[in-house]
């Protein structure tokens, strides 16, 4: 009686009669197999546990397993085995100990150039990759201390920002580096001459300081475009006749009541307004 190790679904094989060899791997034992019963060029394999089976291999024969037992397989069966393996293709193709099957790209290429689908299955074509790359801003445009902006759609432009420089866009035109005067205009830190009329209208977008010479008793309409936390000034100048009065919009005055303007012709009063919490808080400095 002989005891030989045999790995499940492994192989014991003979090169000549009475010479028995064992494949490497985890071992398990079978009993009752007499080497004299093994023919030359045969193998002993197991299809189920503890049940050895001899398989003779003729010349030019390959031993393998499809989805059933370990058997001698034909060329056609080998082709089937290789083709079926293509179902597990990756971007590197199929690699075995003997060969690499190139990746088949049929039905796996994204050709339209949008790359809109986040896919682990599709490979971008050269056209798709270029189309996608053309929509991106080249890193080479990002020089030190620069910004990328667009004056027209889909057209990035680089702008170098010098030291102590403010970048912005004026009432019209492109994004540019602004001068101090241009910045003040945007911030409203400039004076603006109001038009004298029975009802005087103020738009704070014209400047944080606005002035008018009163040609009669006037109404000041509620100013438009106030900005929270901003201080505004209105300079009210009496004409040569003097004694001009103002009917005010809603202001919370420091004195509790609206100021009485200087009556002397040619004199000016400065109204200071703080806009906060959607309200105007005001004070008056008179007699300039």
Residue 146 β-bridge partners: 160
Q: Rg of the chain's alpha carbons, rounded to an integer? A: 46
Q: What are phi and psi of 208, to 5 degrees?
A: -80, -15
The pLDDT of residue 9: 41
Q: How far is CA 16 from CA 21, 107, 230, in A?
A: 10, 50, 103
Give the three-class secondary structure for 193. Answer: strand
Closest CA to 176 of 185, 165, 167, 184: 167
The DSSP letter of residue 181 is H
Residue 22 has pLDDT above 80, yes or no: no
What pLDDT digit, counting tens, does each position of 165-176 carry?
888 887 777 888
C-alpha dihedral over 83, 85, 88, 92, to 10 degrees? -80
What pLDDT digit, counting tens, does each position of 235-262 carry?
999 999 999 999 999 999 998 999 999 9
pTM, full prediction: 0.45
Residue 21 has pLDDT above 60, yes or no: no
What structural domains does the chain harbor? 3-73 (no CATH), 105-136 (no CATH), 139-186 (no CATH), 188-285 (2.60.120)
Report how far residue 13's alpha carbon sits from residue 10's, in angstroms, rounded to the nearest whole number: 10
DSSP for 14-33, please give it. Answer: ESSTT-EEE-SSS--EEE--
Report how far residue 150's alpha carbon sits from residue 144's, in angstroms, rounded to the nearest whole number: 18
What pLDDT digit, counting tens, does each position of 34-66 carry?
555 566 767 767 777 767 676 777 776 676 776
> To which H or E segment does residue 271 belong?
strand 268-276
C-alpha dihedral over 92, 96, 100, 105, to 10 degrees? -50
Using a 10 angstrom Cβ sphere, with 0-12 exposed, 13-18 middle and 19 or more buried, the burial of residue 115 is: middle
How many residues are listed for the chain in this entry?
A: 288
Considering all CA atoms of the chain, what is the largest pairwise distance in Å, rounded to the nearest integer? 139
Q: What are phi and psi of 131, to 5 degrees?
A: -60, -40
């Amino acid at each position: 009686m002989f005891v030989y190790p045999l790995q499940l679904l492994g192989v014991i094989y003979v090169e000549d009669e009475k010479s028995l060899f064992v494949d490497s791997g985890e071992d398990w034992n079978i009993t009752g197999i007499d080497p004299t019963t093994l023919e030359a060029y045969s193998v002993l394999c197991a299809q189920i546990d503890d049940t050895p089976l001899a398989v003779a291999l003729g010349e030019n024969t390959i031993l393998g397993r499809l989805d059933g037992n370990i058997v001698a397989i034909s060329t056609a069966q080998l082709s089937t085995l290789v083709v079926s393996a293509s179902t597990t293709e990756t971007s590197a193709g199929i690699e075995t100990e003997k060969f690499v099957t190139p990746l088949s790209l049929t039905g796996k290429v994204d050709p339209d150039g949008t790359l809109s689908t986040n896919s682990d299955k599709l490979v971008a074509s050269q056209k798709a990759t270029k189309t996608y790359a053309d929509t991106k801003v080249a890193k080479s445009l990002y020089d030190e201390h620069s910004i990328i902006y667009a004056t027209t759609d889909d057209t990035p432009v680089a702008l170098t920002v010098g030291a102590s420089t403010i970048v912005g866009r004026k009432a019209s035109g492109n994004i540019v580096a602004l001068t101090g005067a241009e910045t003040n205009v945007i911030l409203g830190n400039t004076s603006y001459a109001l038009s004298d009329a029975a009802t005087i209208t103020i738009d704070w977008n014209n400047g944080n300081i606005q002035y008018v010479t009163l040609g009669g008793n006037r109404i000041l309409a509620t100013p438009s475009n106030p900005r929270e936390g901003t201080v505004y000034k209105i300079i009210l100048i009496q004409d040569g006749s003097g004694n001009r009065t103002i009917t005010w919009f809603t202001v919370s005055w420091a004195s509790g009541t609206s100021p009485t303007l200087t009556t002397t012709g040619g004199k000016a009063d400065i109204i200071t307004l703080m806009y906060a919490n959607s309200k105007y808080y005001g004070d008056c400095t008179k007699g300039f």
